Amino acid sequence: MHDLVIRGGTIFDGTGRPGREGDVAVDGVRLTTVGGKAARGRREIDARGKAVSPGFLDIHSHSDSVALIYPLAESKTRQGVTTEAIGNCGNSAFPLLGQARDRASSMMKAMGIDTSWTTLGEYRTEVERRGVAVNLAPFIGHGTVRAAAMGMDDRAPTADELARMQELVTQAMDDGAFGLTTGLIYPPGCYSSLEEVVAVARPAAAAGGIYMSHLRNESDRLLDAVDEAIQVGRRAGLPVQISHHKAAGRDNWGKIRDSLAAIDRANAGGLDVTGDVYPYTAGSTSLATLIPAWAHAGGTGALVERLKSPETRARFRREMEEGLPGWENFAKQAGFDNVLITSVKTEKNAGLPGLTVAQAAARRGQDPYEALFDILVEEEATPGMVVFMMDEADVVRVLAHPKMMVGSDASGVAPYGPMARAKPHPRAYGTFPRVLGYFARDKGLMPLETAVWKMTGFPAERLGLADRGRLAAGLAADIVVFDPATVADKATYADPHRFPQGIEMVIVNGQVIVEGNANTGTKPGKVLRRSR
């Protein structure tokens, strides 16, 4: 008698093999039968006509601290996500030391969470003590390590500071981190040189980790930035994952052909380079990213002070209109008509989420630059934004490429609590069903088994997670049952807090976390360790 039997579904095992009909049985936290006919179960699920696949693995997530606020991660789990790789874009929830601690704890305090931990080991203990629905695969962020070792300074590290950064990476790798990430457009990561990144990546390489990067540029200098990531992989000696691969800005549409060719060449030359993509033509990040990088030196307080000065405002406007060499200029790439404000913290500005910067300016009777600067001051640089800047043809090219997998670039949120009034990017709720439904089924971009592989077996292999991402006897029981005929994303930019359809059951470590269009409240997730 098995604990649970999922009977008669079409099994997509996560390897890319086409589906075949059969039973799946679970005992405890493990899969015990996959395919063929299983013995009876204490619980039996009729999955005839449904697809049964491994739980989806979101290789690009930002649920680090959010996992403590939304432990059920409804926006992710309702999509079928069972594991999230966190610590992306250079920003991790550990080590919380120095200015990294100040930044994280003020943000967390605003959401009612005490940052009791410092290291990855302590973070793991805290997350698991509170409970979490999904598994988390933690990476250490270079930006966090840099803030911990040398604050938010716009300069190169001293030899001692660099050694300290390496020591912090070594400690996290010893605690089971999966590798190092960078966010080379964000302060303080943007103040680093290639040499620094190579040096900080070395201890991650030595411990068998991988390097995942939000490139230094995803627009005019995309190809240089891809080349830089490849150089980090070559010189530090570790596999490279290009995060949320895209070409931003109309002038750069189509450059994805060249960037994918560069990735192919690097692979042909023996380096292991892959990437991920979210299936949308808008990006999303902090609204303050519209302000030139130099102005973030010293941290958020210093940025807000600079935003108050009329002389500095004049300089920002000039630099944003003309561009600055080496700086990712979203306002210029997209235009204020294509930048949506997604969240605010003050009551006074509660009407802003969902408006473009241009609309917000018109409503306030202001010029868009002045409106932007004022909003950033009033909100202490905390708002988020959605930026329309990609071409769907490029999104399709990346999705279809054999070295590219699916990642949401979102955190696990829910339609209640602190995010209820925000308008997060719909990728938070729709990424995986959108690939399965809109791209694979409706547009015929790839067979269903390939789409499933890009969100299960492929990312699991990337992370070195030997016992997840596939359905096979003996592996961890992370499972999704979905209806391939109806699976679809429902979240939109205007109405993002909408769960997808067609995801019928989600199982993590042998326990049902989603059933009947609702979370069960169970929290069987673990903070995973890199297996070597």
Chain positions contacting Zn ion, by CB under 5 A? 89, 214
Q: Residue 392, SS3?
A: helix
In the complex with Zn ion, which residue's Cβ is closer, 89 or 514? Answer: 89
Distance CA 452, CA 426 (A): 20
The item of Zn ion, Cu ion, none sharing an interface with residue 23, based on CB under 5 to 8 Å by kind, is: none
Pairing of strands 41-46, 2-11: parallel
Distance CA 237, CA 205 (A): 6
Rule CB under 5 A: is residue 328 a binding residue for Cu ion? no
Least separation in angstroms between CB 183 and Cu ion: 7
Rule CB under 5 A: is residue 507 a binding residue for Cu ion? no
Rule CB under 5 A: is residue 409 a binding residue for Cu ion? yes
Element (H, E) at 306: helix 300-308
Least separation in angstroms between CB 290 and Zn ion: 15
Least separation in angstroms between CB 487 and Cu ion: 25
Q: What is the dihedral of CA 467, 470, 472, 474, to 10 degrees?
A: 20
Distance CA 95, CA 2 (A): 42
Least separation in angstroms between CB 69 and Cu ion: 18
Size of the site for Cu ion (CB under 5 A): 3
The item of Cu ion, Zn ion, none sharing an interface with residue 511, based on CB under 5 to 8 Å by kind, is: none
Six token digits for residue 266:
């690097």
Rule CB under 5 A: is residue 256 a binding residue for Cu ion? no
DSSP result, 48-83 = TTSEEEEPEEESSB--TTHHHH-TT-HHHHTTTEEE
CB atoms within 10 A of CB 155: 12
Rule CB under 5 A: is residue 355 a binding residue for Cu ion? no
Distance CA 505, CA 51 (A): 11
Least separation in angstroms between CB 442 and Zn ion: 28
Site for Cu ion in 43-102 (CB under 5 A): 88-89
Q: Return the beta strands (E) in 409-483 as ranges.
A: 479-482
Least separation in angstroms between CB 62 and Cu ion: 6
The item of Zn ion, Cu ion, none sharing an interface with residue 135, based on CB under 5 to 8 Å by kind, is: none
In the complex with Cu ion, which residue's Cβ is closer, 60 or 434? Answer: 60
In the complex with Cu ion, which residue's Cβ is closer, 397 or 427? Answer: 427
The item of Zn ion, Cu ion, none sharing an interface with residue 411, based on CB under 5 to 8 Å by kind, is: none
What residue number has its CB nearest to Cu ion? Answer: 89
Binding piece for Cu ion, criterion CB under 5 A, among 231-239, 401-409, 418-426, 444-452? 401-409
Element (H, E) at 375: helix 368-378
Least separation in angstroms between CB 12 and Cu ion: 27
Residues 6+ apart with CB under 8 A from 126: 68, 116, 117
Six token digits for residue 124:
């793991």
The item of Zn ion, Cu ion, none sharing an interface with residue 320, based on CB under 5 to 8 Å by kind, is: none
Rule CB under 5 A: is residue 284 a binding residue for Cu ion? no
Positions touching Cu ion (CB under 5 A) are 88-89, 409
